[in-house]
Amino acid sequence: MASDLFQSPDYYQLDDLLSEEHLLVRDATRAWVKKDVTPIIEDYAQRAAFPEQLIPGLAEIGAFGPYIPVEYGGAGLDQISYGLMMQEIERGDSGVRSTCSVQSSLVMYPIYAYGNEAQRKKYLPKLASGEFLGSFGLTEPNFGSNPGGMITNFKDMGDHYLLNGAKMWISNAPFCDVAVVWAKDENDRIHGLVVERGMEGFTTPETHNKWSLRASATGELVFDNVKVPKENLLPNKSGLGAPLGCLDSARFGIAWGAVGAAMDCYDTALRYSKERIQFGKPIGAFQLQQKKLAEMITEITKAQLMVWRLGVLKNEKKATSAQISMAKRNSVDMALKIAREARQMLGGMGISGEYPIMRHMMNLESVITYEGTHDIHLLITGMDVTGHAAFK
Ligand code: TGC
Ligand code: FAD
């Protein structure tokens, strides 16, 4: 890939709304992405390989558990810092941001929020340092948008639980050391269990042939009479609200992350439009290309304002699940539309790995689907404003 010349768009001077700590975190993450992610990511995406060597660096910059308290190995930062980190990392690649979202919000968060002190002490420091990589098993072959129907289950065998079932489309699965798995007990109540690699009957086959998130490893979690120690059940929350509560945190990170992908596409297209000459002029001098760029920066600015405000609400513990859904849906849809327009602005070069746009565009097709599809988030907003759930 050509060298990383990224310059962040800030049309409404939103940096003025950020604290010194926010700016430090944002700039340190940006510098790390320029140094360690952009030089290698295209090659890994082209080969559909997981850049495992990035894990120590991600841990070092605090991207594993940014808002988890320092006593458990987290960075102890606020929600806006977490958002800014996800923005910068997804500016590099959605797959790398996925690895962080899963580790922080879908593995560390439930252990922190729903686990007991022994579980926090056992797992969180190792997850924060990158010694352990985690995965989150909610989706099943026949239960995606409707996770409440899951059939993965466990039985109380006296001194242990016996876990059976299968999860699919699981980020990090092929490389994970631990998995937070959602399964039903004998009364059909959903609980979270921490399953460790090496437990007999637990396998993680990789999912191949993806055209999207190629630098993120995806797989299945298969449980064939896995004996799970009783102390691995997360005791402090059960029911479908438990996994959905983790999704609130991950969706918040995605709302910020997708803005990063959009910023990279816009910045690339803007630079190209000033350099590429056709009919004796830079293509950026033609009205049709200016329309595209003007609309892109308008949409990016609106999304930046939205996620910043959501971050303020989240810091004040006032953000609702429906507000988070709206921002996740808006940011990803905006980013995907910008990626498609930006790709066209580069003409033939738009499909080349010399530029990051096509990779962002393909990645965003997963991002618009996981953590709740575009349609499901629309229905969540619809339910919030009308009081009627149209899911079923
Ligand atoms: P419903 O009856 O509405 O709710 C069941 C219980 O959950 C509570 N709840 C929430 N709690 C916290 N946060 C939320 N966002 C919540 N949404 C609902 C609700 O209050 C209720 O609690 P209680 O105490 O009354 O029982 O549930 P439903 O079955 O009708 O489903 C609602 C629906 C469709 C919105 C939900 O199932 C949904 O969000 N579906 C989408 C599934 C999804 O997002 N899956 C993501 C899998 S993980 C993933 O994709 C990771 S990708 C990671 C990466 O690589 O970055
Ligand atoms: P379905 O639920 O079958 O939906 C198919 C279509 O029907 C969609 O367009 C949907 O919007 C629509 N639809 C469904 N229900 C309704 C309705 N009531 N009304 C209107 N339309 C509806 N899951 C995890 O648990 N952990 C992970 O780490 C994880 N990582 C992922 C990584 C990748 C790369 C991908 C692609 C997925 C990942 N997922 C993960 C799974 C992801 O969350 C699901 O794919 C997603 O929730 C959608 O489920 P589904 O694919 O079964 O689609």
Report the CATH number that the domain containing residue 95 is assigned in CATH.
1.10.540.10
Per-residue pLDDT, 392: 87
Task: Please name the residue whose Cα sits nearest to atom 11 of ligand 1.
Answer: 241
Angle between the 287-315 and 79-92 helix axes, to the nearest 10 degrees?
150
Q: CB neighbours of 163 closer than 8 A, spacing ≥ 6?
A: 152, 153, 154, 181, 183, 193, 195, 223, 225, 226, 227, 228
- Of the three residues 129, 160, 195, the one that is the final residue of a domain is 129
Listed residues 82, 114, 129: the one ending a domain: 129
Question: What is the DSSP code (8-state) at residue 205?
Answer: P
**Nearest protein Cα to ligand 1, atom 17:** 244
Ligand 1 binding pocket, CB closer than 6 Å? 98, 101-102, 136, 138-139, 145, 147-148, 171, 239-241, 244-245, 247-248, 250, 321, 370-372, 376, 380, 391
Alpha carbon distance 207, 115 (integer Å): 30
Catalytic: which of 90, 299, 341, 371? 371
The CA-CA-CA angle for residues 124, 130, 131, to 5°, reads 85
The total domain count for the chain is: 3
**90-117 pLDDT, tens digit each:** 999 999 999 999 999 999 999 999 999 9
Is there a domain that residue 375 lies in? yes
Q: Are residues 356 and 268 located together in one domain of the fold?
A: yes
> What is the structure's pLDDT at 374?
98
Calculate the dihedral angle through the C-alpha atoms of 111, 216, 149, 377, rounding to the nearest 10 degrees: 90
In the residue annotation, 140 being an active-site residue is answered as no
pLDDT at 3 over 90: no
Do residues 27 and 119 share a domain? Answer: yes
List ligand 2's pocket residues with C-beta within 6 A.
102, 136-139, 144-145, 169-171, 213, 218, 366, 369-371, 373, 375-376, 379, 391
Q: Over 141-198, what HEC string results?
A: CCECCCHHHCCCEEEECCCEEEEEEEEEEEECHHHCCEEEEEEECCCCCEEEEEEECC
Residue 352: DSSP 8-state: S
| Listed residue (253, 247, 252, 310) closest to 110, CA to CA | 247
User: Which residue owns the Cα nearest ligand 2 atom 5?
Assistant: 145
Residues 337 and 261 occupy one common structural domain: yes
**Helix, strand, or coil (residue 269):** helix
The pLDDT of residue 2: 57
185: number of CA atoms within 13 Å, CB side? 17
Q: Per the domain annotation, does 1 fall within a domain?
A: no
- The angle, 0 to 180 degrees and rounded to 10, between the axes of the packed helices 357-367 and 321-345 is 150
The confidence score (pLDDT) of residue 171 equals 98
Distance CA 164, CA 153 (A): 6
pLDDT, one tens digit per residue, over 254-290 is 999 999 999 999 999 999 999 999 999 999 999 999 9
- Average pLDDT, rounded, for the chain: 98
Query: 248 and 337: one domain?
Result: yes
Pick left, alpha or beta for residue 213 (phi over 0 → left; psi -120 to 50 → alpha; otherwise beta).
Answer: left
Other CB atoms within a 10 A radius of the CB of residue 118 amount to 9
Q: With cut-offs at 50, 70 and 90, classify the pLDDT of residue 88.
A: very high
What DSSP element (H or E) covers 330? helix 321-345
Nearest to 148 by CA among 121, 176, 179, 184: 184
**Which distant-in-sequence residues (6+ apart) come within 8 Å of 379 by Cβ?**
389, 390, 391
What is the CA(148)–ligand 1 centre distance, in A?
8
pLDDT digits (tens, 9 = 90+) for 20-39: 999 999 999 999 999 999 99
**C-alpha 143 – ligand 1 centre gap (Å):** 12
118 with 179, same domain: the answer is no
Does any domain span residue 98? yes
**What is the Cα–Cα distance from 297 to 272, expressed in whole angstroms?**
15
What is the position in ligand 2's atom list of the atom closest to the CA of 146? 2
The span from the CA of 93 to the CA of 257, in Å, is 9
Q: Which ligand is nearest to the CA of 135?
A: 2
Nearest of 32, 26, 133, 113 to residue 72 by alpha carbon: 113
* Token pair listed for 188: 């059909």
pLDDT at 162 over 60: yes
Q: At what angle do helices 38-47 and 357-367 cross, to 10 degrees?
A: 70
> Tokens 């790390």 appear where?
32
- The verdict on residue 276 lying in a domain is yes
Residue nearest to atom 25 of ligand 1 (CA): 241
Which residue has the CA at smallest separation from atom 26 of ligand 2? 170
User: What per-residue confidence (pLDDT) applies to 150?
Assistant: 98
For residue 379, the ligand 1 atom closest to its alpha carbon is: 35
391 CA closest ligand 2 atom index? 18
Say if residue 1's pLDDT is above 60: no
> Kindly report the CA angle at 276 between 274 and 277, in degrees rounded to 5?
105
Element (DSSP H or E) covering residue 256:
helix 241-275
Which residues constitute the domain of residue 76?
Answer: 14-129
Length of the chain: 392
Q: What average pLDDT does this structure show over 366-389? A: 98
Together in a domain, 218 and 273: no
- Select from 109, 129, 149 the last residue of a domain: 129
Category of 303 on φ-ψ map: left (φ > 0), alpha (ψ -120 to 50) or beta: alpha
